[in-house]
Structure 1
């Protein structure tokens, strides 16, 4: 394996900025890796090697930026002017936007090297793409950010964009053994990203380490305070939050959570059990109502004009979501303040919460991407969350989720870095 593939983003960027490594060196290393691995994994839907090389050469002729040489995958629901953006759907195959999404523009302007478009489920919903799990090709990588998580896990990108409306960053990150960062709602600009549910859609990042996620987010969000140092932050006070579906979780999820608690405490952190507020159990129903109403309207064109071109899974999904009526949506929105208030009270004495990332390891088979059971509440409540690799069972990874208060991304990232160091699981590409 090329040594450049073993670098985390922070160290690779530093090498490119110093002139020790060229952007073209990075391009060649990652293109070779994609050529070697992606025929089996199917993480990319589009990669143009000559475009990548030309971009690298252009960057080598410029002053190095804050993300100099960062090899990036862009989820196929995010617009790119120089590559197709098909939303993971045959109905939009070959679609070429007129301009880049702001997150892509910002990445390029900071010296990031776009490698290609990563596979998404259709419209970032339920119909799986071609991607396989890099730890076991017979298992799902999760979704909808399937290609992004698989690409980072397999060393075919150091950062990839993901989106989450239910569990589309956190769950596949857990299944693929990488860091998935769903920021506070609106921290990263979501313009020119395919809209599903305007009050839920969140642009996020998939990286190999928490520090890398913090670095990239600091640049894209224009918030230097998000950057994490080499030194671990003050040991956090962590609230163990099992959530109502915990009893139905697989043994691997319980083992991951138990291991995380033991390691956090051994590293000097404090873990206290948090009683789940009585109204928290309604969050799954509330999320379903909000998403159902908003998705039905956001995809009006697809439902009206492109219906016959959509997969059956997507048609079934949209048919179910269309059952939500206006009173149900309004009732769900009206219930949210009380849920937020109860959760704020429960979190009063802790820095972050610790909860499962997924119901278990990645399920076998490629017909489904798994369930967002442990993710929808935090998406609904617009709170920052990270999945950190925690445990392996039968050769498959499973993560734990670190959740913070909305707007407290810096504190959440710092706590997640502490948890990541305590767990010390995945460091190099699979």
Structure 2
């Protein structure tokens, strides 16, 4: 279920003692009696909140929104990943930190406590959480398994290359910066080129106005030296994909050029999904209970651009799509003339021991697009795709 932020909801979720610390950290409401306020009933605090200046409330609301987003299992995992890297020289310190988080009664306590007491972990953890929520990653396999060049000069080269490409091709990207984070054996590069100027309609000190500003847009690279794969996320034109991968290969991997992508490297082999007898492979301890193909797009091998999409209701019959295909094939020959270029897969799985199973639906498209995120669920399902031969190992 989607989570929606609001100030009243946030105040109800966070214990009063931690709310007090949030305000005192800003030098605010130091005389407010948080102890006298009943837990989960913040009416008096909301009254005090409304008396604060707009600029103060705007700043704190932005912080509260970020904490709210991180107050979940995915956020806790991101915090632990960042802590594990930063405390890699002291395993005992990491264990003590992890035990401390585990002892807290809920995710809001964990998120607020880390925000207040471990600000050195917060930025990296928030970026990991954000990356975990991004869908539609593109994978480039088959690259040399070299270590990433992470020094400042290489990051500046990456920023300059990306900014220059966007400035020359799309007229934006005059400024660009790169942030680097390490997560287990993967290097994350968050790139922020300057976007087109925009005007936003805002309320400023009670006045309604338009304010011009220069936002940034985002590109995320995830490099795995162990696998020789580059995962790439950019919500933009498809024509930008290969040039941006090439810039990364030259600046960070120190390759003369991006190696050509051979046919067998085009990641997803979706044609096996045409078969009714295809079996997904997964381990019993992964929480996966049932997998079914809900939708297939078939593209013509004979005439480029021709495609057909088949979709079935699999609620009562997990093989309903194959019943539909067999019915269609009585009139239209499908075998040998069509490739599967997109599939939608529905997975019933346990995501938490104390919650009922949930249905996770994701889409994979030939050659290399997948809507799975890089969170705990997404990684389990990507492992299933590898074990099943859909994604090469």
TM-score (norm. length: structure 2): 0.27
Work out which structure has the larger RCO, using CA pairs closer than 8 Å and 6 or more positions apart in sequence: 1
The structure that has the greater radius of gyration is 2
TM-score (norm. length: structure 1): 0.26
